[in-house]
Chains A and B, each alone.
Chain A
Amino acid sequence: GAGVSQSPSNKVTEKGKDVELRCDPISGHTALYWYRQRLGQGLEFLIYFQGNSAPDKSGLPSDRFSAERTGESVSTLTIQRTQQEDSAVYLCASSEDRGLGNTIYFGEGSWLTVV
């Protein structure tokens, strides 16, 4: 597709279960980002992938959160043993490379509700 694609668009899960969120970046984009947006809040940076470099994991809130990326394509964000405070929109974004002025394009997000 032409834009950043995320799935699922909505996910309701029980507390304690694991969830996986998927992101397909724009074709050819080497940089990929995950952000979290809690209700009424701004976006919190989670993790950043750039090509084959080691990812910047500095924003991950706990060791229950992890992410992988296969080459320069799909990324999966995994949340283990979900808690209610994990309820949020998880936004994926991509850009051509790590250039600071590059436009970062966002997907529509995966809405996660933990009950």
Chain B
Amino acid sequence: AQSVTQPDIHITVSEGASLELRCNYSYGATPYLFWYVQSPGQGLQLLLKYFSGDTLVQGIKGFEAEFKRSQSSFNLRKPSVHWSDAAEYFCAVRGNTPLVFGKGTRLSVIA
């Protein structure tokens, strides 16, 4: 069965600084990987997904993620964080079952 680990529960960054959110997955075959964002009081919105091809994936809102098979990782990055990026971020993996989510990383943005 697949699983996802997001090692960082809470991250605080300054507005304009770069961001990297970590995600490690466990799955025996090539996984389908996703990043979702959840803003306060709102549902989950898909930022980006990967299942084949180029290992660097571009998403919405200026986010990107890189799939590294050797490290079983799918880290999310953004070169310059905006205050509106403050939210909860979830990494998810899909193999032969429905989406399995990590516990999330809460991002706070300070001026």
> Which chain A residues have a beta carbon within 8 Å of chain B's beta carbons?
4, 33, 35, 41-43, 45, 48, 56, 58, 91, 93, 100-101, 103-109
Q: Which residues of A contact B67 (CB under 8 A)?
A: none
Q: Are A43 and B43 in contact (CB under 8 A)?
A: no
Q: Are A43 and B49 in contact (CB under 8 A)?
A: no
Q: Are B43 and A42 in contact (CB under 8 A)?
A: no
Q: Nearest 7 CB-CB pairs, A to B?
A: A42-B103, A108-B43, A106-B44, A43-B101, A106-B43, A101-B51, A42-B101
Q: Are A42 and B90 in contact (CB under 8 A)?
A: yes
Q: Are B99 and A104 in contact (CB under 8 A)?
A: yes
Closest to B45 in A: A106
Closest to A43 in B: B101
B window 96-110: CB within 8 A of A: 97-104
In the assembled complex, how far is the CB of residue A22 from the closest CB belonging to chain B, in whole angstroms?
Answer: 15
Q: Are A91 and B102 in contact (CB under 8 A)?
A: no
In Å, the complex CA distance between A106 and B45 comes to 7
Give the number of residues in B that approach A within 8 Å (Cβ atoms): 22
> Which chain B residues have a beta carbon within 8 Å of chain A's beta carbons?
32, 34, 36, 41-46, 49, 51, 90, 94-95, 97-104
In the assembled complex, how far is the CB of residue A97 from the closest CB belonging to chain B, in whole angstroms?
Answer: 13
Q: Which residues of B contact A42 (CB under 8 A)?
A: 90, 101-104
Q: Are A91 and B43 in contact (CB under 8 A)?
A: yes
In Å, the complex CA distance between A100 and B104 comes to 21
Closest to B94 in A: A100
Q: Are B99 and A91 in contact (CB under 8 A)?
A: no
In the assembled complex, how far is the CB of residue B4 from the closest CB belonging to chain A, in whole angstroms?
Answer: 8
In the assembled complex, how far is the CB of residue A24 from the closest CB belonging to chain B, in whole angstroms?
Answer: 13
Q: Are A56 and B98 in contact (CB under 8 A)?
A: yes
Closest to A6 in B: B43
Closest to B102 in A: A42
In the assembled complex, how far is the CB of residue A31 from the closest CB belonging to chain B, in whole angstroms?
Answer: 9
Q: Are B103 and A41 in contact (CB under 8 A)?
A: yes
Residue from the list B43, B94, B97 in contact with A107, Cβ < 8 A: B43
Q: Which residues of A contact B100 (CB under 8 A)?
A: 45
